[in-house]
Amino acid sequence: MGIESLNAIEITHGVATFIYVIFSILIGIRFLTKYVSLKRKELITVGLAWIFLSSAWWGSSFSFLSIVLFNQPIQGFIFFFIANAFIPVAVVCWIYSFLKIIYPDLIKIGTILILVLSIAYEIILLYFLFQPESTYPLYIGEIKETFYYQPSLLTMLFQVLALLVSAITGFIFSIKSMKSDEPVVKWKGRFLLIAFSAFTIGSLFDALITLDQITIVIVRVILLISSIAYYLGFLLPDQLAEMLREVRK
C-alpha cells in the first residue's frame, strides 16, 4: 500500500495532520530549549504538555509517514499506543504547570490526584493493548478509512476528560493573566485564551463533524493557530511585546 493508493481526502488528511503534529512538537521543543537560557522549570512541563497534547493525532500522522516511506501504515498496536498512551502524560504535565504558576499551594495534592488517575488509565489501556487486536474495536477503538481513528468508550471518555481539564484550567489561567495590571501579562492571557479556545474547538470539530478536504484543512489551521497562540502566551518575544505595549497606549 503506497501513497498512490490513497485518495485525495486521505492525502489531505495525512499531510495536514502531519504538519500540525510536527509544528506542535517543534513548539514544545522550543519551550525546552528556552528553559536552558531562562532556567524556569515550569517551561519543561509546559513544553511537554503541548507536545503530548498533540499525541492524539500521532497515530494518523505517523501512519501517513509510514505509508510514504515504507508503503504500509503502522500496525494497530503501535497506532493505538502512540495515539493514547501519552495523553495522560500531557494532562499531568499541564496540571503541574498550571498549579505551580497559579495555585502553588495546591500543587502537591492536585498533581498527585491527576497522577493517580492517569496511572490507573495507563494500566487499563496497556492491559487492553496487549490483548488480541480483534478486541481493539470494543476496548480501544478502530481505524477507519486508513487514518481516521474512532475511539472506544474507554478511550473517548478519557480524551473528553483530558480536553475538559485542559480547557477549564487553561481558561482560568488565561482569565487570571488578563486581570493583571501589567499590559504584557494581559496580552499573554489573551493569547492563551485564543490557544485553549482554538484547541478545544479544533478538537471538537475533529471528533464531531464529517471531514472533507476543506474541513480537514480548516480544522488543522485552527489547531495550528492554537499552537502559535500557546507559544506567545508563555514566550512572547520582546519586540512583539513592545509593539503590543504601544497598542495599549
Residues 30-84: tens digit of each pLDDT: 999 999 888 888 899 999 999 999 999 999 999 999 999 998 989 889 999 999 9
**8 Å CB contact between 77 and 129:** yes
Residue 171 vs residues 148, 182, 186: alpha-carbon distances, Å = 29, 19, 13
**8 Å CB contact between 17 and 61:** yes
Closest alpha carbon to 60 in 138, 152, 137, 146: 146
Q: Which residues of the chain have pLDDT under 70?
A: 1, 248-249
Q: Which residues contact 194 (CB under 8 A, 6 or more apart)?
A: 225, 226, 229, 233
0.85 exceeded by pTM: yes
Distance of CA 96 to the CA centre of its chain: 16
User: What CATH number is given for 3-248 in this structure?
Assistant: 1.20.1070
Amino acid identity, residue 181? D
Q: Which pLDDT belongs to residue 249?
A: 52
Task: Dig out the grid coordinates for 85 from the structure.
Answer: 498512551
**What does the DSSP 8-state code read for residue 75?**
P
**8 Å CB contact between 19 and 62:** no
Give the start-to-end residue ranges of the domains of the chain.
3-248
Q: Which residues contact 9 (CB under 8 A, 6 or more apart)?
A: 211, 212, 213, 216
